[in-house]
Structure 1
């Protein structure tokens, strides 16, 4: 059976996350350096395989002090665990645009299954003749499941950083 390889277009893709700060506002961040590829049966993305890797040192929340803290052993521990990886185990079509992506996510040396809701934007040729496919994915995880346990108690009760992390992913793939 013929397969088609797709490579991520990093200039038109964003791998982001949101986490509640002080229990009432969101802080957003993203990874600036990442790679991903998809393997499909022809142009049909049903049952596609996805592989992803992000350079944890490229984390950017718009605040250098916070980014540097995220790189320490309190959170990602980039010296020992420089990459976040994802390998899909299932990509199922629910409707023409809605899919469910399940895979193994590895953060800080811990691998756990995660489920993402994926919206397939479609396939089109760009003005230079490249065939592209677009996806938006969302999901959530508990950061403590991956050993990211640092926190601080607030005087008013609650904690500084939520355990729940929302994933917000928008990607374009280029047919190879």
Structure 2
């Protein structure tokens, strides 16, 4: 049976204006309770600060037979940033960093999928942060698709992805070079078929 895999994560990881109706297969919605967008950034050379975003949504269409036709779209609420330190999170919401008063969301849309192996692919897309859109590639591993006995045997697809960006590419220049420019992003996704 042919299956389709389309994710809007918002944020995770995005579509090049193509409607998911163009592709055959099932639509999946990201499960916000089991989906994470985690970032890692150098802090003064002493340590790595890690944080995540608590509010994200998305959908995916996965085509296992033709993964190059898969789509991903994701949206992250920038104000949901959480590093475990409330005062730092408020600083990160300010105009020096995520400027959530003017830029409420971070989005990702795929433009190309290139298969690397039987369970891996590169998802090339467009990441929009602070109103600036730039290309980014998510190195993605497809974990499994199967009925979940804890969710009434609903079909669930799971994958992990990683990428790195330079925050200065998006105009986020505060405290460079004391706080790192390169940000590593890890994404864990579980998506439930509609």
Q: Which residue of 2 aligns with 1:166?
A: 184
Q: Which residue of 2 aligns with 1:121?
A: 143
Deviation at 1:65, TM superposition (A): 1.1
Q: Which runs of 4+ in 1 moved over 6 A?
A: none
Change in Cα spacing, 1:169 to 1:45, as seen in structure 2 (3 Å) is farther
Deviation at 1:39, TM superposition (A): 2.1
> Which runs of no fewer than 5 residues in structure 2 stay unpaired?
1-22
Residue of 133, 138, 148 corresponding to 1:111: 133
Q: CA RMSD in A?
A: 1.4
Change in Cα spacing, 1:162 to 1:45, as seen in structure 2 (3 Å) is farther
Change in Cα spacing, 1:136 to 1:40, as seen in structure 2 (3 Å) is closer
| Distance in 2 between residues matched to 1:31 and 1:44, nearest whole Å | 32
Q: Which residue of 1 aligns with 2:161?
A: 137
Deviation at 1:44, TM superposition (A): 4.4
- Normalized per residue, the structure richer in strand is 1
- Residues 11-160 of structure 1 aligned to structure 2 (within 5 Å): 11-41=33-63, 44=65, 46-47=67-68, 48-127=70-149, 128-151=152-175, 159-160=177-178
- Normalized per residue, the structure richer in helix is 2
Deviation at 1:107, TM superposition (A): 0.3
Q: What TM-score results when the alignment is normalised by the length of structure 1?
A: 0.91
